[in-house]
Amino acid sequence: MPTQIVLAVLLAALLHALWNIIVKGGSNKLFETGLNALGGGLGALFLLPFLPPPDPASLPYLGMSCICHFTYYICIAAAYAKTDLTFGYTVMRGCAPLFTSLAMFLLGSPLSFGAWCGVLTLCCGIFCLAGDNARRGAAKGTTLIALRTSFVIMGYTLADGLGARHSGSAASYAAWIFVLNVVPLHAFILWRHGANYLRYARTRATVGLFGGLAGLGSYGIAIWAMTLAPIAGVAALRETSVIFGMVLAVLFLGEKFSLQRAAAVLLVACGAMIMKLA
């Protein structure tokens, strides 16, 4: 893989970790996810005139993905309200490829020996991280909340994988996802917290919208890189986002660093990479 592609994908991983840092750093995680979705949606809206419309065959998958993303935003807000970012982000991102691979296995796609090695490595990392989290006195149920979010990520990953194939343009499909995601999430937030959300947005709009643009940029860079380099390699390298997340959480959120936690995060990242390269 060319050096410039490697650097671009590492930037995409950093941007993905950054928007999660922004959500975690806000006082209201649900409102932060709303601003994040809005920032990404507005950015994608400017791209739509330059992209072809998605094929009608992809519309059911767009709808399914929109439902999964709405659930994802709700789940990620709940997860970050109860656990620190190093634990929550690592489990959510790390277990998503695990669940996706196991789902494909149950659907009849066999896993290679390398993939099973990745599963084992990833699970070791998750167990180590969960043990460290328990020793730190984390609230009960935090692991299940993070795993629930991973399961939802698996849902939209499968929907988007099929939808992009039917769309005729992966970039157009991705842009429409970002635009459509704004609608159900904001309908829910405005229905439940209308005035409070608008007041919150006035104080956090710049940071929150930037987080959404960071998420859009991360996704866009990854798609661009996949047109120039092997998809598996790009997807694997992007899993370094959990390492960036740990570093940023220590630097900007004041989370405590430990060698056991660092080793667990590295195991998760390596396991996810192995699974995607196998």
Domains of the chain: total: 1
Comparing CA positions, the residue from 219, 264, 271, 226 lying closest to residue 245 is 264
Comparing CA positions, the residue from 186, 238, 198 lying closest to residue 73 is 186
Q: pLDDT tens, 98-133?
A: 777 777 777 777 778 887 888 888 888 888 887 777
- The answer on pLDDT for 150 being more than 90 is no
Residue 17 — very low, low, confident or very high, per pLDDT cuts 50/70/90?
Answer: very high
Give the CA-trace dihedral at 76, 82, 87, 93, to 10 degrees. -10
pLDDT for 200 equals 96
Residue with tokens 């990833």: 122
pLDDT for 134 equals 66
Q: pLDDT tens, 49-108?
A: 999 999 999 999 999 999 999 999 999 999 999 888 888 898 888 887 777 777 777 777
pLDDT for 162 equals 85
- The answer on pLDDT for 231 being more than 80 is no
Q: pLDDT tens, 178-217?
A: 999 999 999 999 999 989 999 999 999 999 999 999 999 9
Range 240-250 average pLDDT: 90
Q: Residue 254: left (phi > 0), alpha (psi -120 to 50), or beta?
A: left
Residue 140 — very low, low, confident or very high, per pLDDT cuts 50/70/90?
Answer: low
Q: Residue 136 is part of which domain span?
A: 3-277
Written as six digits, the tokens of 264 are 């667990």
In degrees, to the nearest 5, what angle opens at C-alpha 253 toward C-alphas 128 and 11? Answer: 80
Residue 261 — very low, low, confident or very high, per pLDDT cuts 50/70/90?
Answer: confident
Residue 278 — very low, low, confident or very high, per pLDDT cuts 50/70/90?
Answer: low
Range 13-35 average pLDDT: 95
The rounded mean pLDDT for the chain is 87
